[in-house]
Chain A
Amino acid sequence: MIARMTPESSDRALALARELQAVADGDRSAFATLYKRTSSKLFGVCMQMLGDRGEAEDALQEVYVSVWRSADTFDATRAAAMTWLITLARNQCIDRLRRHREVPLEDATATRLVDPDPEPPALTETSEERRRLERCLGVLADQQKDAVRAAFFSGATYNQLADHVGVPLATMKSWIRRSLIRLRACLERSETNP
């Protein structure tokens, strides 16, 4: 389900999807091209979540080894290539965060939570999907929107987020769950009526 996109981003998405399919067939030069096109984004994601260069490099390595081995599970009719790749990177990073740092929120993570967010980019530079999400985030109270963004960019658990913000766990869960319910309603509406 490749959703509506600008012509430019759509070209890029199709090129990535073709490369992934070639990678599934064992095409090494397609894999190299795919790496060149996507590794800076995925490394940015890993740096953002892990906050440690060495660990981000290890994570990135695992992500691309996994891309090479499981590219045949990518289904272009169901997901955009970049979504698939970023998901692999996020899952790899979240698993690492859970393995090493389940209990206390380490200083490094805490520091990033204070300022977890990259600035929302100028909306003219973003995809239609990003703009739609921004419109729907706009219906949330600031505190709830911040919690959703902090969760997404840090990969922290409910517990860690609650500790960090200094609210009870139930409050954090409620903020985020209510936000997700409202986001779902808003995004569902705009998917059917763009």
Chain B
Amino acid sequence: MNTPLDHEPEDLRYAEYVLGVLDADARAAVEREMAADPHAADEVMRWQRYLLPLAEDITDSAPPDRVWSRIQGRIGQTQSLPRTTDIRERRGWWSNLFVWRSFAFGATAVAAACIIALVLFPRARVAQPAAPAIAYMASAITQTDGQVGWTATMDITHARMIVVPAKPQTLPTGRAPELWLIPAGQKPIAVGMIDSGAPTNIKLDKALLTRIGPDAALAVSVEPPSGSPTGQPTGPVIGKGSITGT
């Protein structure tokens, strides 16, 4: 049967995106298209206008007060980002999952996502101190199966790193991934345990900071949950990535 479907399924991807039926890769593709092509963005907005009234059917549900407290905590510290604060305490755009998710699903577009972050959050950009020549470095940690397991972005100015899971492989129970920095021709230096289900923030001490660069690499090994007992990788290395400046 010859139906409209035969002619224009491609055209429906914006509707499918808004409806929410696309898988992660297809969603990411539409999002890239929206960023590059105003027509795509218009089509998505049109479908939002069409379909989002369905959300009126959803019953309101008051969130507990702690959510607002947490939000205030997050935005309260956005205004100034004191250099001395520990990264776990600091909640700037750096910790914004919206930004980092683009790493998780578009793992190679590291530089692009940095730019998106700066475009999306100009207020945060103003708050950043003057940056050195290479402010950020990035690495896509590719696993033995060819998939990117994590992406790591190093903010040299603020001595911090965020490691975002993309498609990390499942580890046996009682094993956890540990991140290592491998300077060219040297032994691995432990960076820290990383999460497979959520971004991990890591503060970079001087020993790490001075060795991060295009000659070094990152690697992930399988270790006990508390980390390698020896200070060197004890389990198999499941992923590796070179480091590039952005």
Report A's interface with B, CB cutoff 8 A.
1, 3, 26, 28, 31, 35, 39-41, 43-45, 47-48, 56-57, 60-62, 64-66, 68-70, 72-73, 78-80, 83, 86-87, 90, 92, 94-95, 98-100, 102, 117-121, 126-127, 129-130, 132-133, 148-149, 151-159, 161, 174, 176-178, 180-181, 183-184, 187
Residues on the B chain within 8 Å of A157, using CB: 21-23
For the complex, give the distance between the alpha carbons of A149 and B101 in Å: 27
Cβ of B172: which chain A residues have Cβ within 8 Å of it?
A: none
Q: In the bound complex, do residue A102 and residue B54 qualify as a contact, i.e. CB atoms below 8 Å apart?
A: no
CB distance from A158 to the nearest CB of B (A): 5
B221 to chain A, nearest CB (A): 23
Residues 43-87 of chain B, each 1 if its beta carbon lies under 8 Å from chain A, else 0: 001001111111111111111101110110011001000000000
Nearest chain-B residue to A136 (Cβ)? B50
A152 to B4 CA separation, bound complex (whole angstroms)? 23
| Interface residues of A, dominant DSSP | helix
Instruction: Please tell me if the beta carbons of B78 and A68 are within 8 angstroms of each other in the complex.
Output: yes
Asked whether B58 lies within 8 Å of A153 as measured between CB atoms, the reply is yes
A54→B68 CA distance, assembly (Å): 14
A129 to B145 alpha-carbon distance, docked (Å): 48
Do residues A99 and B121 form an inter-chain contact, with CB atoms below 8 A?
no
Besides A90-B55, A158-B21, 8 other CB < 8 A contacts? A40-B62, A40-B63, A45-B55, A62-B96, A79-B49, A87-B52, A121-B57, A133-B54
The 4 closest A-B CB pairs, nearest first, are: A40-B60, A130-B53, A98-B24, A43-B63
Given contacts A126-B56, A157-B22, contact A183 B63 (CB under 8 A): no
**Could you tell me if A181 and B5 are in contact, using CB atoms closer than 8 angstroms?**
yes
Asked, given contacts A64-B71, A176-B16, whether A120 binds B57 with beta carbons under 8 Å apart, the answer is yes
Given contacts A3-B49, A57-B66, A177-B5, contact A99 B24 (CB under 8 A): yes
Which of A48, A126, A157 counts the most B-chain CB atoms under 10 A from its CB?
A157
Chain B residues, CB < 8 A from A87: 48, 52
Docked Cα-Cα span, A60 to B63, in Å, equals 9
Contact A95 B49, beta carbon cutoff 8 Å? no
Does B134 count as interface, using CB distance less than 8 angstroms? no
Binding site of B, secondary structure by majority: helix, strand, loop or mixed? helix
Residue B15 interfacial (CB < 8 Å):
yes
Cα distance, A3 to B46, chains bound together (Å): 11
Number of B residues contacting the other chain (C-beta, 8 Å)? 54
Which B residues lie at the A interface, using CB under 8 A? 3-5, 8-9, 12, 15-16, 19-24, 27, 45, 48-64, 66-68, 70-71, 74-75, 78, 91, 93, 96-98, 101, 104, 120-124, 197
Q: Are A159 and B23 in contact (CB under 8 A)?
A: yes
Contact partners of A153 in chain B: CB under 8 A: 54, 57-58
CB pair A69–B120 under 8 Å, yes or no, is yes
A28: chain B residues within 8 A (beta carbon): 75
CB-CB < 8 A to B54: which residues of A? Answer: 130, 133, 149, 152-153
A189–chain B nearest beta-carbon distance, Å = 12
Is B63 a contact partner of A57 (Cβ separation < 8 A)?
Answer: yes
Give 28 A-B contacts (CB < 8 Å), ordered by A residue: A26-B123, A28-B75, A39-B68, A44-B58, A45-B58, A57-B67, A61-B67, A65-B91, A70-B121, A79-B45, A83-B48, A90-B55, A94-B20, A98-B23, A98-B27, A126-B56, A130-B53, A132-B53, A133-B50, A152-B51, A155-B20, A156-B20, A176-B19, A181-B5, A181-B12, A183-B15, A183-B50, A184-B15
Whether A133 pairs with B19 at a CB distance below 8 angstroms is: no
